[in-house]
Amino acid sequence: VLMHIPPYHPYLSHTMQSGEVEIQNQADEILKIASDYHVSEIFSGHLHSFSRFVEPSNKIKITVVGAAGSERNPFPSYAILTVYNDETYEVESL
Protein backbone atom coordinates (compact mmCIF):
# COMPACT_ATOMS: atom_id res chain seq x y z
CA VAL A 1 0.00 0.00 0.00
CA LEU A 2 1.34 3.44 -0.95
CA MET A 3 0.11 6.51 0.92
CA HIS A 4 1.27 10.03 1.73
CA ILE A 5 1.12 10.31 5.53
CA PRO A 6 2.12 7.23 7.55
CA PRO A 7 -0.59 5.77 9.76
CA TYR A 8 1.95 5.24 12.55
CA HIS A 9 5.57 5.95 13.48
CA PRO A 10 7.30 4.79 16.68
CA TYR A 11 9.02 8.09 17.50
CA LEU A 12 8.17 10.84 15.00
CA SER A 13 5.05 13.00 15.03
CA HIS A 14 3.13 14.24 11.98
CA THR A 15 1.48 10.87 11.39
CA MET A 16 -2.19 10.06 11.13
CA GLN A 17 -2.02 9.02 14.80
CA SER A 18 -1.08 12.57 15.83
CA GLY A 19 -4.04 14.22 14.10
CA GLU A 20 -7.68 14.72 14.99
CA VAL A 21 -9.56 11.81 16.56
CA GLU A 22 -11.39 11.07 13.29
CA ILE A 23 -8.07 10.80 11.44
CA GLN A 24 -6.60 8.64 14.23
CA ASN A 25 -9.58 6.32 13.81
CA GLN A 26 -8.94 6.20 10.05
CA ALA A 27 -5.31 5.23 10.73
CA ASP A 28 -6.46 2.42 13.01
CA GLU A 29 -8.90 1.22 10.35
CA ILE A 30 -6.20 1.31 7.63
CA LEU A 31 -3.91 -0.80 9.82
CA LYS A 32 -6.71 -3.26 10.62
CA ILE A 33 -7.67 -3.65 6.95
CA ALA A 34 -4.00 -4.07 6.00
CA SER A 35 -3.67 -6.80 8.62
CA ASP A 36 -6.94 -8.51 7.61
CA TYR A 37 -5.83 -8.62 3.95
CA HIS A 38 -2.26 -9.67 4.78
CA VAL A 39 -0.67 -6.54 3.30
CA SER A 40 3.06 -7.09 3.49
CA GLU A 41 4.04 -3.44 3.87
CA ILE A 42 2.81 0.16 3.84
CA PHE A 43 4.98 2.80 2.14
CA SER A 44 4.58 6.50 2.87
CA GLY A 45 6.39 9.82 2.72
CA HIS A 46 5.65 13.12 4.44
CA LEU A 47 8.28 12.89 7.21
CA HIS A 48 11.34 13.80 5.10
CA SER A 49 13.44 10.94 6.43
CA PHE A 50 13.91 7.24 5.72
CA SER A 51 12.89 4.67 8.31
CA ARG A 52 11.56 1.11 8.46
CA PHE A 53 9.75 -0.44 11.40
CA VAL A 54 6.87 -2.71 12.41
CA GLU A 55 3.67 -1.25 13.82
CA PRO A 56 3.25 -3.11 17.13
CA SER A 57 -0.53 -3.73 17.26
CA ASN A 58 -1.10 -5.20 13.79
CA LYS A 59 2.49 -6.22 12.99
CA ILE A 60 2.45 -4.33 9.68
CA LYS A 61 5.82 -3.33 8.23
CA ILE A 62 5.97 0.39 7.41
CA THR A 63 8.60 2.16 5.32
CA VAL A 64 8.76 5.96 5.34
CA VAL A 65 10.67 7.54 2.46
CA GLY A 66 11.57 11.22 2.47
CA ALA A 67 12.81 12.76 -0.76
CA ALA A 68 13.71 16.12 0.73
CA GLY A 69 16.10 17.03 3.49
CA SER A 70 15.18 17.86 7.05
CA GLU A 71 16.97 19.15 10.13
CA ARG A 72 17.81 15.59 11.21
CA ASN A 73 18.90 14.53 7.74
CA PRO A 74 19.75 17.55 5.57
CA PHE A 75 20.70 15.45 2.53
CA PRO A 76 17.97 14.66 -0.02
CA SER A 77 17.37 10.96 -0.57
CA TYR A 78 14.98 8.57 -2.23
CA ALA A 79 14.23 4.86 -2.33
CA ILE A 80 13.76 2.31 -5.05
CA LEU A 81 11.04 -0.30 -4.65
CA THR A 82 11.63 -3.31 -6.90
CA VAL A 83 8.77 -5.79 -7.24
CA TYR A 84 9.62 -9.19 -8.71
CA ASN A 85 7.44 -11.60 -10.69
CA ASP A 86 7.23 -13.97 -7.71
CA GLU A 87 5.55 -11.14 -5.70
CA THR A 88 8.59 -10.55 -3.50
CA TYR A 89 10.06 -7.07 -3.32
CA GLU A 90 13.11 -5.15 -2.21
CA VAL A 91 13.51 -1.61 -0.89
CA GLU A 92 16.78 0.23 -1.37
CA SER A 93 17.45 3.63 0.20
CA LEU A 94 19.68 5.89 -1.90
Is the per-residue pLDDT at 66 higher than 90?
A: no
Confidence band (pLDDT; 50, 70, 90) for 65? confident
CA distance linking residue 27 with residue 21, whole number of Å: 10
pLDDT at 90 (0 to 100): 93
CB atoms within 10 A of CB 75: 7
Say what the pTM is.
0.81
